[in-house]
Amino acid sequence: MSAFAGLFLGGSIGLALGILLGLLQPVDRLMEVTIEAIRPIPSIALLPIALIALGFGYRMEIAIVSFACIWPVLILARAAVREIEPRLMEVARALKLSPADRVRKIVIPAALPRIFVAFRLAAGIALIVAVTVEIAINPIGLGAAIMAAQQGLQADLMLAYLIWIGLIGFGLNAGLNLMQGRLFGRAALVRDRT
């Protein structure tokens, strides 16, 4: 499904940019206006441009979903990196870790609980945007099937599709919750309650 591909692609881009901007304050200040100008654009508003550039199909839908998923992951990853204990970064400098090792050994492990929250948020957005794109313009997928059932006056089939979409969202969130719980144990539960 395009929601999963868009979540993976947009989440990866958002994570990389969030870590970069969280670590490099001058780059963050330089890019702040650009990010804040692009971020509020509704992903659905990009449909005409994406349709011209990519045509109908999954590529167009994945591009729109990716755009929507970049922002929550970027913003939460950037905030998570900024809130890393400064002493950890001092230890990394004292150990003379390379920038790549610093990110891999200190930044990502310290920010990972909040990064999981970002991906859980982005997963819901991905599903919403994917179904909306399919309803609005893409003639394939569950959203298009809902529209076809609506046009055929098949209320029972529409309800079945809606329940299926809800189950997909529930399963995706439950999977991410399970992974978060396995990786962080009780600490993940405590952070979720706050």
Please identify which residue in the block is written with the tokens 């901007």.
21
> What does the pLDDT read at residue 69?
92
pLDDT in tens, 68-110: 999 999 999 998 888 888 888 788 788 887 888 888 888 888 8
Question: pTM, whole model, 2 decimals?
Answer: 0.78
Helices (H), 83-153: 86-94, 99-102, 108-136, 142-151
* pLDDT band at 14; cut points 50, 70, 90: very high
Which of 16-26 are b and which e, b meaning 16 or more Cβ less than 10 Å from the residue's Cβ? ebbbbbbbeee
CB atoms within 10 A of CB 177: 15
Please identify which residue in the block is written with the tokens 């079945």.
160
